[in-house]
Each structure stands twice: as structure tokens, then as C-alpha cells.
Amino acid sequence: MLKDITLGQHFPGNSVLHRLDAMIKIILSMLYLVLIFLVKGFVGYGLLAIFVFCIILLSTVPIKFVLKGLKPLLIFIIFTAILNLFMTSGTVIWQWSFLKLTYEGIYFAVFMILRIVFLVLGTSLLTYTTSPIALTDGIERFLTPFAKIGAPTHELAMMMSIALRFIPTLLEETDKIMKAQMARGADFESGNLIKRARALIPLLVPLFISAFRRADELAIAMECRCYQGGKNRTRLNVVKVGKIDIIASLVFLLCAAVILTANLAG
Amino acid sequence: MIKTEKLTFNYSGEQPNVLKDIDIEIKNGEFVAVLGHNGSGKSTLAKHFNAILLPVGGTVYANGINTKDESRLYDIRRAIGMVFQNPDNQIVATIVEEDVAFAPENLGVPTAEIRETVDWALDTVGMTEYKQHAPHLLSGGQKQRIAIAGVLAMKPKCIVLDEPTAMLDPIGRKEVMDTLMHLNSKNAMTIVLITHNMDEAVNADRVIIISDGEIVKDAPPHIVFSDVDEIKALGLDVPQVTELMYELRKAGLDVPSGVITIEDAYKALSEVAG
Ligand SMILES: Nc1ncnc2c1ncn2[C@@H]1O[C@H](COP(=O)(O)OP(=O)(O)O)[C@@H](O)[C@H]1O
Ligand SMILES: [Mg+2]
């Protein structure tokens, strides 16, 4: 049952977006974030909406699936909207004791909602179209320049990929321990919160002990295979930025330029 | 290939030594099985072969290099590969071929050469068709073959395996044993196999039995298993055929001792039957 959890929310496919190099996708996503915060006014947001819609279509990820990513943030969005609605000073439209609904408030609330929605839609497309492995690799290459100033980029990437490697193993183990404890009468599903949390202790203790033992054995196995950190390391798969990545970047920059110009004019 | 001289070792100073005056020499191309009950020091001994542990007393030479020579640590590690019991805890990457590439990547081998080595290693263990798979979805025997391929990718002279079949089902065991026999006969790979399974040990050229950190037997399997009472006194079993012949002999049948293969047993029994 635990095995069914999808991690990283990857949606496999073969669209242009899937085939783009992960590092390029990370950089473009960052530029996209900047773009969202530069855009003001309805013309800008209208164009941005069209842009995001086109990208979602291009990704072949079902729109319903993409919109689902907004669900956990719904409360946060509503909260921010209400805060903006009533806490912005300006021309008062309607007032009830200390609550003031202002024209500016409505304006800011709408834009805040749009910003968050665009932000979530755009960035979730990054994880939907990039496998966790490619993402890790992309992050490592993205951070490479920082290694020169002593940042532990190789270690970070190694940690991420080992975590990815062991998540299924540990999930499987959790499942096994849970079943073993249930067979002995453990009850993980009933009772109040405290009772349930306490029921987890006999699950977590063996899980942690086993995880430490695994870590120990893995460390020795890695030493046996001549692991010596990131220095002088070569790679089996050297990813090169290809034609498609350059074209995608140019198209993105062009769209961004159009949106920003329209934004200034509008 | 591997030579120990008066090797002694203990984990924390005081206690009785875990290894006591061990002298062994493993020659190029040999297939050696190491037996011994739990806690007799087999894993500790194995870890001396590629300088994971260093002797407290005596010397270990791996591929002719003293394991105390720190400057040649990686020459030792790449010459003597090591495979462990739990395949899950030695696979590093999320894709089979990337895992096999781990060692050559660490050694700074050029990319094109890594590709070639990885393909060769996967082909040697018969796992080529799984090269793009996620390791956690494979069977135990397949995972252990990936682990062997990962070690092969260093192009070692010798592979030391510490109970590689202990967690596997009979099919997985056979896969791993077939792979090892193939490596030994076709690639002239030196194999040191630590095992609990006597039926695996009979495949070896030589069996070493270790008890409480001392070597008590070091001979070809048919000689080691000829004294069944002595083996049992050491807390070990004998191969199934040997056990059968032993019981028959006890029952008064005139069959020879030291029979370790089914063919030999068949021959001996046919003679008795006339
Ligand atoms: N990391 C360790 N620290 C302390 N003692 C250990 C350690 N590993 C093994 N031992 C002890 O060394 C002895 C030999 O263990 P080991 O080499 O694992 O035996 P085997 O592999 O034959 O079962 C045992 O008594 C064990 O308790
Ligand atoms: Mg052991």
C-alpha cells in the first residue's frame, strides 16, 4: 500500500518539455518566477495566462492533473486574498466596524491569487516533466559554479540521489514492519491522535535502527568501490545542452520580452 | 594474489583477538571457499583483503601490495573487489547502468571507456537487458548480479564475496553461483567465496575453515569433507550427498568417505550395488 505513493510527482511522457535538459528547465523556471513578479496589470497577466496555458498543453500533462497541484495551497491562497482584501488602505467601497473593503484591496487580492496560481502551475510543471534522477542531476550541474567557492555541491547531489535510491527500499521495509506489528496485534488506525502517534513508536524504532545499519553497510560498500568524494570524478552520462534546449530558451526569452513590453505599455 | 602473514586483529584493543596468526595464500585464478560458524571472523578476515581493515599484527599483501601502504589504497581496492550479503545496501544509484558505472566514475575513467566497461560488466553477469531498470524492482539474485557487475567494472583481479547468497532464494543462489563459476573459468577471475552453504563450497578448488579466528582446515573440498565428524564438531554441516554417504557408511555400507558430488555418489553406490 505504501508503495503506491508517487514521489516527486513525476508524470512520464515524451513531450518537448520532457525532453528538455533538466538544468535548462531549472534556469527557465527561475526566470519564470522573476517574470511573474515583474508583471503588473491585466494585459500582462492575460498574456502570462495564455503563455502558461500553452506550456501546459505542450507538456501533454492533463490540465486536471496540473490543477490538482493547487489544491493543497487553497487555504493559503484564500487567506492571502482575504488579508489583501481588507488590509489594504485606499478608496473605501464598503465598511463594517474595522473591516474596510477598498478598491486597491480587491486589486491586490486578485493579483496575489493570480501570482500564486501562476507560480504553482509553472513550477509544478518542472517536477511533472522531469524525473527525480534528471532533476538531481540538473541541480548538481546548476550548482557546479558554486563548487568553485567551496560549496559542497557534489555531496549535496550524492545525498539527494542516495535518498532517492533508498526511498522505495525504506517504504517497503516500513510496510513489512507494519504488517509484522499488525500481525502481533498492533493497531495503527484507530484512537485519537496521541494514541495513533504512540502506535508509531514500535514502527519507527526498528525502522531507524535498520536505516542506520544500511547506512553503515552502504558506506563500506562505497569505499570498496573506490569512492573518494567528488574530486576527479567522471560521469557515465555526460549531458550536453542540445539544439532543442537552445531553441526552447530563445522562445521563452522572446515570450518573456513580449509579455514585459505589453505589460509596460498596458 | 592475496597473502597474509601472521595476521592478527581485534576490534578494540583488549578482548581476545578476533583473528589469530592467520597465514593464507590465495593464488591467481583460484576459487576458494571460506567456511566457519557465525562470529568466527570470516567477515573480519575478508575486510583485510582490500584494506577496509588493517592488521593489528602481521601483514597482508593484496595483489602484491602491503595493505598498510596508504598511497596505494585505491590500487588495492580496484584489484580486489568486494561483494556483501545484502544487495540492497550496496547499490548506490537509481538506474542499473549508473550503479555499475559508480566505481569507474570514482576512479576518473574517461566517459567513453566507462560506457564500454559497463556494457561488458553487465554482459558478463547476463544483465544487459536490465540496464535501464530501477534496481529496487529486480529480484534478489538479479540485484546481487548487479552488485557483482558493479565490482567487475573496476576490472579487478579478484572478487571477495561475503555470504552473497545468504538472503537469496534457491533460484537467486543458482544465478549467483553460475555467474561466479563462469567468471572463474572463463575470465580466470580469482574468487574468494564466504558462505554458509556447503553445497556451494563443493564448487571451490579449495576450502578454508575458520573457527574462533584460527584456520583449522585448508584443503580441497573432497579432503575437507572426508571427516564428517570433525566438521560437525566445528559446528558446520557437510554437503547433502556427503551426509547421505556418511549415514550409509554408519549403517554398514561399504562406501568411500569424501564424496562431495552426486556423480561420485552415484558411481560409488553403483559399485556397491554391483
Ligand atoms: N564492528 C565490530 N566491532 C566490534 N566487534 C566486532 C565488529 N564486527 C565483528 N565483531 C566481532 O568479531 C567477531 C567476528 O565477527 P565476524 O568477522 O563478523 O564473523 P563472521 O563473519 O564469521 O560471522 C565476532 O565476535 C563479532 O562480535
Ligand atoms: Mg559475516
Instruction: Write the pLDDT tens digit of every residue in B71-117.
Output: 999 999 999 999 999 999 999 988 899 999 999 999 999 999 999 99
Beta partners for A97?
A: none
CB-ligand 1 contact for B39 (6 Å cutoff): yes
Distance in angstroms between the alpha carbons of the first and the last residue of chain B: 46
| CA of B92 vs chain A CAs: smallest distance (Å) | 6
pLDDT score, position B194: 97
Asked if pLDDT for residue A5 goes beyond 60, the answer is no
pLDDT score, position A194: 85
Residue of B nearest to A171 (CA): B136
Share above pLDDT 70 across residues of chain B, in percent, rounded to a whole number: 100
pLDDT in tens, B5-60: 999 999 987 778 899 999 999 999 999 999 999 999 999 999 999 999 999 999 99
pLDDT in tens, B104-152: 999 999 999 999 999 999 999 999 999 988 888 899 999 999 999 999 9
Contact list in B for residue A213 (CB cut-off 8 A) is 89
Closest ligand to residue B39's CA = 1
Q: Whose CA is nearest to atom 16 of ligand 1?
A: B41
Q: Whose CA is nearest to atom 7 of ligand 1?
A: B11
Where is pLDDT greater, at A93 or B234?
B234
Contact list in B for residue A237 (CB cut-off 8 A) is 98
Q: What is the distance between the alpha carbons of residues A29 and A119, in angstroms, rounded to a whole number?
A: 9
With CB atoms and an 8 Å threshold, state whether B78 touches A172.
Answer: no
Q: What is the distance between the alpha carbons of residues A59 and A74, in angstroms, rounded to a whole number?
A: 24
pLDDT score, position A83: 84
Given the C-alpha cell 575486510, which residue does it identify? B47
Give whichever of A34-38, A69-73, A237-241 has the largest mean pLDDT.
A34-38
Work out the average pLDDT over B217-224. Answer: 92
ipTM value for the complex = 0.91
Which residue blocks in A39-102 are alpha helix, DSSP H?
Answer: 41-59, 63-68, 74-87
Cβ atoms within 10 Å, residue A95:
10
Asked if pLDDT for residue A252 goes beyond 50, the answer is yes
Contact list in B for residue A165 (CB cut-off 8 A) is 91-94, 135-136
B268 alpha carbon – ligand 2 mean position (Å): 36
| CA of B87 vs chain A CAs: smallest distance (Å) | 10
A252 alpha carbon – ligand 1 mean position (Å): 60
Q: Whose CA is nearest to atom 24 of ligand 1?
A: B39
A133, A161, A232 ranked by CB distance to B108: nearest? A232
Ligand 1: nearest atom to the Cα of B194: 21
A217, A227, A236 ranked by CB distance to B84: nearest? A217
pLDDT score, position B100: 96
CB-ligand 1 contact for B239 (6 Å cutoff): no
| CA of A12 vs chain B CAs: smallest distance (Å) | 15
What structural domains and CATH numbers belong to chain B? Answer: 2-238 (3.40.50.300)
CB-ligand 1 contact for B42 (6 Å cutoff): yes
* pLDDT-derived band at A154, boundaries 50, 70, 90: confident
Give B70's contacts (C-beta < 8 A, 6+ positions apart).
Answer: none
Closest ligand to residue A220's CA = 1
Q: Whose CA is nearest to atom 18 of ligand 1?
A: B43
B205 alpha carbon – ligand 1 mean position (Å): 26
Give the single-character DSSP code of B191. E
Instruction: Please state the pTM of the whole predicted model.
Output: 0.83
Q: At what angle do helices B111-124 and B170-186 cross, to 10 degrees?
A: 120
Task: Provide DSSP, B10-63.
Answer: -SSSSS--SEEEEEEEE-TT-EEEEE--TTSSHHHHHHHHTTSS--SEEEEEET
Tell me the pairing of strands B19-26 and B2-9. antiparallel
Q: What is the distance between the alpha carbons of residues A116 and A109, in angstroms, rounded to a whole number?
A: 11
* pLDDT-derived band at A101, boundaries 50, 70, 90: confident
- Write down the domain spans for chain A: 2-130+239-265
CB-ligand 1 contact for B20 (6 Å cutoff): no
Asked if pLDDT for residue A2 goes beyond 70, the answer is no
B102 alpha carbon – ligand 2 mean position (Å): 25
pLDDT score, position A3: 42
Three-class DSSP category at B67: coil
